[in-house]
Chains A and B, each alone.
Chain A
Amino acid sequence: MAEFTTKLKEYRASRDMKQGDLADLVGVRRETIIRLEKGQYNPSLKLAVDIARVFGVKVEDIFLFDDQ
């Protein structure tokens, strides 16, 4: 599986949003957001899309794979 990096933390900070706020909006626990930000968890397609929708950007703007 390709390694990925994420800009989730930057996007969240730019919106003055806490991890708990984002977790509530996309219907997951804060722990999931923490793992995502650390790149320790590969999100499902639905979660990736939900997060992208919250920030109004494309999925690939937030989640970047090594080969990109």
Chain B
Amino acid sequence: MANTSKKLTELKERFKDKSLTRSQRQELYKEIIEERYRIDPRPIMNIREYHKRRAIVGTIGLISGITGIVALSMDKEANKNPGIIILVIFSVIALLILGILIWCVIPFITHKVERGDELYKQNDSKANEYTAATLAVFGFSLAMILSMSSWKFSISNKNIMFVAFAVYGLVGALKSFAMLKLETACPEEGDEEDE
């Protein structure tokens, strides 16, 4: 691996040579791409694409968690009302529809995610701040709604996994939505001069 990285570094150094003609530069660029592919042959997934899929997977996790929590809370007599039963049915239907989107999950295994740079790190920390702020507002609103409703809910060893799953899905989805907002879509290489 050390040798292959060294070769890649050498190729990149040669690329900086100002005396290279355009065709020589293109040939060298092809060599760099081939070398990178030889080191890790998995195709690269764009960061924006990654977050698009992660947001959908997070939403599936959130709905699954909420469905589980609500369904388990129906063992209490006070919670057996038509509104909650309808909510559970709709959640299950939504999950079935979202579950078909299996293509969201497969590329997480078969692709490697594009390497983040300094702009990505900046966007990532901004996304963390947005997520924390949204979670605070969301948590406060949820607490207000629950305190006003007749729904009886307590965290126990029965539903703790669903609560954790829902929170994990919510945080993941919120962060990915924030990243999608911050990371603008890249135009195609040929269109770059028209920007």
Task: For A16, give its contact among B16, B22, B120 (CB under 8 Å).
Answer: B22
A28 on interface, CB distance cutoff 8 Å: yes
Residues 172-195 of chain B: 1 if any A CB is under 8 Å from the residue's CB, otherwise 0?
000000000001101101001001
Task: For B119, give its contact among A17, A29, A56 (CB under 8 Å).
Answer: A29
Min CB distance, A22 to chain B, in Å? 10
Of the four ranges (under 10, 10 to 19, 20 to 34, 35 or more), the interface on chain A belongs to 20 to 34
Q: In the docked arrangement, what's the CA distance between A35 and B122, Å? A: 13
Interface size (B, Cβ < 8 Å)?
Answer: 23
Task: For B192, give its contact among A19, A35, A47 (CB under 8 Å).
Answer: A19
Known: A29-B117, A32-B118. A38 touches B195 (CB 8 A): yes
> What 8 pairs across the A-B complex have the smallest Cβ distances?
A28-B117, A32-B119, A16-B22, A31-B186, A29-B117, A19-B192, A44-B118, A32-B117
Give 13 pairs: A residue, B residue, CB < 8 Å, sorted on A: A15-B18, A18-B192, A19-B189, A19-B192, A21-B15, A25-B12, A27-B117, A30-B189, A34-B186, A34-B192, A35-B184, A37-B195, A56-B18
A66 on interface, CB distance cutoff 8 Å: no
Contact B16 A21 (CB under 8 A): no
B167 on interface, CB distance cutoff 8 Å: no
